[in-house]
Amino acid sequence: MLRGPLAQLYGNSAGGVLQVFTADGPEKPELRFSVDAGADKLRRVGLQAAGQSGSLNYVIDHSDFSTDGWRVNSAAKRKHSNAKLRWAASDQTRFTLVANVFDQPESGDPLGLTREQMQADPRQAVANSTLYQAGKDVSQNQLGLVAEHQLDARSEITARVYAGERNLDNRLSIPLFAQTSPTAAGGIVQLDRSYSGTGLRYARRIAVGEGQLSLSAGLDLERMSEHRQGFINNLGQRGALKRDEDDRVDSTGVYTQADWAINEAWSAVAGLRANRVRFRIDDHFIRAGNPDDSGRVSFSATNPVIGLTRHLSPDTNLYANIGRGFETPTLTEIAYTAEGSGPNLSLRSARSTHAEVGLKTKLTENQRLDIALFHIGTTDEIVVASSSGGRTVYTNAGRTRRSGIELTHSAQWSPEWRSHLALSTLDARFAETFASGSTTVAKGRRIPGTLNRSLFGEIVWQPRALPGFTAALETVVRGSMVVDDVNSDRTDAATLFNLRLGWEQKLGAWKLREYLRVDNLADKDYVGSVIANDGNKRFFEPAPGRQWGLGVTVTYAF
């Protein structure tokens, strides 16, 4: 997880980068089979083969998941296959191939509820949800290749290329009478999307004085094209065509970064990234009362970042970072205007300044503490203007600000007991008055959908008398979220408790792992998320009550 200013070097980003890596296969080949079951008829079956064969490392897995869902019309089914192959062509060169296949033929949408509906029955779905069969079918396939070559002892070059496709059929719960006006986009969204990209990065390490300077520079090129169509949703059945267009986004980014380990007491980082993003919309649905909505728009920015770290001791670092951020609208965000179906090409890119100071330290040999204080000031933040029936329209706010604290503490109290605590606070507000449609949003209002505080804590017991057994009690504290720009309502804070048990046994080449998990032990009613600025005041998406899950994983090492 890259947060704060340093995340800006990864390009068009709102303030953070979540990096996900597929683990390499073990040295000894193994076969793994897993079965999971849970509340609301949750079922999952998984199979994985992983290992090393000569210079080839591999991980191949497949999973099949289904659930009836906790709420009415929230059933889902999906199949997911992944493969990662890494070939060491030589001591200096290696190639990594990653492939993903994802198919989700069913995913219901129960929609949000009003406060009165939620209090009466949080598991219900809005009538239009079932009437119009709200939900979506999604499939996505992608393939990527990374080549890494070490030029010499101090420099290396990395090249990557990827391509993929994504198909979406999304049934919205928009009333039939609202789908038929000349500029309406219908109630079924059909997307056929393809995307591709390539990148090149060069890195070199140089001895400078008492320390070392690591330099890197790179180029990213990306393209996404989609064919977007809209159809009448005639009670779940596809009706007449109401929208037909081709959309394309091209992105170019160049960057450079320097990490300097100055000496034992100081280190510094500095970077610069320039981005240009171009949108093109070609409208093919031109009728009387529905003019040509074709158009083009482009965004560009150059964002610097700088950071300094003071190494107070081998176990304690004090740091400060500051940088600029850049976030363009997405094709989804420009898809609709408040007046009709046409693309919202008047949306502007958001510009932000991120500042963070923090402390990372080992309090003792078995305790670690991290503290970070941050502030983000944004101009033209892209926010929800309105939402209804599953369709969302976006606009630019004026200035916004976010500030808060993040704290984590981990401790191993004894060979049998350990704990982990993560706490965050967030004060997210509009920093100036602005108009959103016919609503005037006053300066100082909270930004909807943002939790003002959250806490996760767990205590874990691994008794010596039961080798392989683990028991943990988790505590989750959720603050409140406001539901709209004028802060007309908010969710209640909630404190939840979860329990998990696990046991692992080894029998020769076999390894068995069982688990049991119970979430929301007290069966507390609370809101999981909100639909910001919902036009029908159906802001609330209730979270499940008490949930249970159990599973078994069997692994055989050859």
Q: Over range 408-434, report the average pLDDT.
A: 97
210: DSSP letter: T
Q: How far apart are the first and last CA of the chain?
A: 34
Which pair of tokens denotes residue 530?
A: 């909100």
290: DSSP letter: B
Which pair of tokens denotes residue 171?
A: 């049934």
Report percent pLDDT > 90 for the chain. Answer: 88
160: left (phi over 0), alpha (psi -120 to 50) or beta: beta
Q: Burial letters for 250-273: b for 16+ Cβ neighbours within 10 Å, e otherwise?
A: ebebebebbbbbbeeeebbbebbb
Res 4: pLDDT? 58
Res 13: pLDDT? 60
Q: Which residues lie across from 435 on neighbouring strands? A: 440
Closest by CA to 2, choosing from 481, 354, 482, is: 354
Q: Is the pLDDT of residue 12 over 80?
A: no
Spell out the residues 6+ positions from residue 460 whose beta carbon is closer than 8 angstroms to its own: 417, 418, 419, 420, 470, 471, 472
Q: How many CA atoms lie within 13 A of 528 on its CB side?
A: 13
Spell out the residues 6+ positions from residue 208 whose beta carbon is closer than 8 angstroms to its own: 260
Q: Over range 122-138, report the average pLDDT.
A: 96
Using CB atoms within 10 A of its CB, is residue 207 exposed (0-12), middle (13-18) or buried (19+)? exposed
Beta-strand pair 434-436/391-396: unpaired
Q: Over range 548-555, report the average pLDDT.
A: 98
Neighbours of 108 (CB within 10 A): 21
Q: How far apart are CA 363 and CA 342, in angstroms?
A: 57
Confidence of residue 62 (pLDDT cuts 50, 70, 90): very high
Three-state secondary-structure class, residue 400 = strand
What are the pLDDT digits (tens) for 18-50?
677 788 999 999 999 999 999 999 999 999 999
Q: Mean pLDDT score of the chain, rounded to an integer?
A: 94
Q: How far apart are CA 513 and CA 519, in angstroms?
A: 20
Closest by CA to 380, choosing from 411, 349, 415, is: 349
Report all structural domains of the chain as residue ranges with CATH numbers, in order of start. 2-557 (2.40.170.20)
Res 391: pLDDT? 84
Which pair of tokens denotes residue 40?
A: 């609301």
Q: Is the pLDDT of residue 2 over 80?
A: no
Indicate if the alpha-carbon torsion angle 443, 445, 449, 455 is positive or negative: positive
Q: How far apart are CA 343 and CA 285, in angstroms?
A: 13
Closest by CA to 13, choosing from 26, 2, 23, 24, is: 2
51: left (phi over 0), alpha (psi -120 to 50) or beta: left
The per-residue DSSP string of 376-389 comes to EEEES-EEEEEEET
Indicate if the alpha-carbon torsion angle 263, 361, 309, 13 is positive or negative: positive
Q: Is the pLDDT of residue 10 over 90?
A: no
Closest by CA to 230, choosing from 247, 214, 217, is: 247
Q: How far apart are CA 190 and CA 398, in angstroms?
A: 33
Closest by CA to 40, choosing from 58, 63, 65, 15, is: 65
Whole-angstrom CA distances from 142 to 83, 98, 145, 201, 285 are 11, 8, 11, 22, 30
CB 248 within 8 A of CB 283: no
Q: Over range 236-243, report the average pLDDT.
A: 94
Closest by CA to 511, choosing from 522, 500, 503, is: 503
Task: Give the residue carrying structure tokens 């290696």.
Answer: 94
The per-residue DSSP string of 426-465 comes to EEEEESS-EEETTEEEPTTPBPTT--SEEEEEEEEE--TT
Which pair of tokens denotes residue 152?
A: 């010499």
Q: Which residues lie across from 10 on neighbouring strands? A: none
Record the pTM. Answer: 0.91
Confidence of residue 220 (pLDDT cuts 50, 70, 90): very high
Res 437: pLDDT? 77
What are the pLDDT digits (tens) for 170-186?
999 999 988 988 888 99
